[in-house]
Amino acid sequence: MIVGAIPARYASTRFPGKLLADLHGRSVLERTWRRASRSASLDRLVIAAGDEVIASAARGFGAEVIELFQDFNSGSDRIAEAVRRLEDDAGRCDIVVNVQGDEPMLDPETVDKTVARLKDDPSAGAATPVTPIRSADEFNDPSAVKAVLDEAGRALYFSRAAVPRGWDGADRTAFRHIGLYAYRRNVLMDFAQQPPCRMELYERLEQLRLLYYGVKVAAVVVEDAGMGVDTEEGLERVRRLLESRP
């Protein structure tokens, strides 16, 4: 069974309440859930709610909700607990997909390609999508997380810094990470048992915990990067994009 889980809580450091912000009649979270629901690879999709406000809103638009009102170190730690509760009545999961709740323009095919990438690489414990960086502004933006890949298309490192240093835009070798993860079930559970590593705390990037403890992370290159909502400016960009579409 392949389960998709959206970790969601009302609080946010940069933009509190962003998941319930309105996007032309639907919240950011509802639009993300609806997009993820269109993935052909997911057998089940749940919202791992971090508080009653999110849980109530999610039930209101028809999502399956798991209440997890305690604090967790990361979204992946939250969905690990959600999987434990799911397995009590639904059987064992094989692959778990962590879908960020602030991706209302998520391409469902990105979910499918990430799951397929994990299935195709038996030595990888997790898979994640990346997209080529196309401008110097994006390359130097600390909110755009960079991914450095090896020859086999696996992650060497993730950083908010402009890496690899020296990239001048002449080729497609600099990548921006898209915050979606497909985990093998045992890898996710091990992840949740390990303490956050120092690099993870420095960069504020949970995926560095995987690399620190030796997990191979396969990357899949996609062209559609979606458009996340991290700030009020990001929310306005998505609103304008939706207005331009039929």
pLDDT in tens, 190-203: 999 999 999 999 99
How, if at all, do strands 146-149 and 217-221 pair? unpaired
Give residue-wise pLDDT tens across range 156-192: 999 999 999 989 888 888 999 998 999 999 999 999 9
234 pLDDT higher than 70: yes
12 pLDDT higher than 90: no
246 pLDDT higher than 70: no
Give residue-wise pLDDT tens across range 133-159: 989 999 999 888 999 999 999 999 999
Burial class (CB in 10 A: 0-12, 13-18, 19+), 24: exposed
Closest CA to 163 of 143, 179, 140, 180: 140
Q: Where are the domains of the chain?
A: 2-243
pLDDT reported for residue 3: 95
pTM of the model: 0.91
Binning pLDDT at 50, 70 and 90, where does residue 89 land?
low
CATH code of the domain occupying 2-243:
3.90.550.10
Residue with tokens 């401008």: 135
pLDDT reported for residue 232: 80
91 pLDDT higher than 80: no
Phi, psi of 191 (to 5 degrees): -55, -45
Binning pLDDT at 50, 70 and 90, where does residue 108 land?
very high
55 HSE (CA, 13 A, CB side):
10
Binning pLDDT at 50, 70 and 90, where does residue 90 land?
low
Phi, psi of 219 (to 5 degrees): -110, 145
> How large is the average pLDDT for residues 11-30?
85
| Torsion-angle region of 204 (φ positive above 0: left; ψ -120 to 50: alpha; else: beta) | left
> How large is the average pLDDT for residues 2-13?
88
The string of DSSP letters for the chain reads -EEEEEEE-S--SSSTTGGG-EETTEEHHHHHHHHHHT-SS-SEEEEEESSHHHHHHHHHTT-EEEE--S--SSHHHHHHHHHHHHHHHH---SEEEEE-TT-TT--HHHHHHHHHHHHH-TT-SEEEEEEE---HHHHH-TTS-EEEE-TTSBEEEEESS--STT--SSSS--EEE-SEEEEEHHHHHHHHHSPPPHHHHHHT-TTHHHHHTT--EEEEE-S------SSHHHHHHHHHHHHT--
Binning pLDDT at 50, 70 and 90, where does residue 95 land?
very high
**Torsional sign, CA 63, 67, 72, 77:** negative
Window from 3-7, 125-129, 225-229, 235-239 with minimum mean pLDDT: 225-229
